[in-house]
Amino acid sequence: MLYEEYVKSNKDAFIAKVIKISQILEIEPEWLMQVFMNESSMNHQAVNKDTNATGLIQFMPNTAISLGTTVDALKTMTNVQQLDWVHKYLAPYTGRMVSYIDLYFTVFFPVAIGKPDDWVLQTSKLSPQLIASQNKGFDLNRDGVLTVAEVREAMLKKVPEAWRNFFRKKKAKS
């Protein structure tokens, strides 16, 4: 499996649970592993010093609370235990994550799931310029706003070249 060499503890149990959760969520397990690699370098105890986002998918403190836990609790869990919270967070999006980018947007910016390539990332509370300024690596054309296409291309560049075609495809129909 992609990136399994980066799993430092409970490797067999972790990989088995990633596969099980992926089947339930109707996504590819490699997509989930890529998200973990992007968000936390596969470190379930990773903490963002600026936002206090924690764990495999960098749960924001308010998100953790809304799920019934805290970032402090998540940090003390094993990688296998934390997968239960990853599953709980992703479960409402089951059936909508038909590509790797949909899965990534579920973690990064859920309102962008299924939007067209030219859709600009924004919310009623977050301006496009603020979002772009906080995520400069996605602003590929340096125009101060982020589109779905820019985020997709930036994220696909992070995928190992041998896997890019796999990650560009929509999930196989069951």
Asked if residue 51 lies in contact with residue 60, where contact means CB atoms within 8 angstroms, the answer is yes
> Mind listing the pLDDT tens digit for each residue in 69-127?
999 999 999 999 999 999 999 999 999 999 999 999 999 999 999 999 999 999 999 99
Does 68 score more than 60 pLDDT?
Answer: yes
Q: What is the pLDDT of residue 173?
A: 60
For residues 41-52, average pLDDT: 95
Cα–Cα distance between 102 and 112 in angstroms, integer? Answer: 8
Q: What is the pLDDT of residue 174?
A: 52
pLDDT band at 170 (very low <50, low <70, confident <90, very high): confident
Asked if residue 82 lies in contact with residue 132, where contact means CB atoms within 8 angstroms, the answer is no
Three-state DSSP at 31 gives helix
The pLDDT > 90 percentage for the chain reads: 95
36 is written with which tokens? Answer: 């973990």
Domain ranges of the chain: 9-108, 115-167
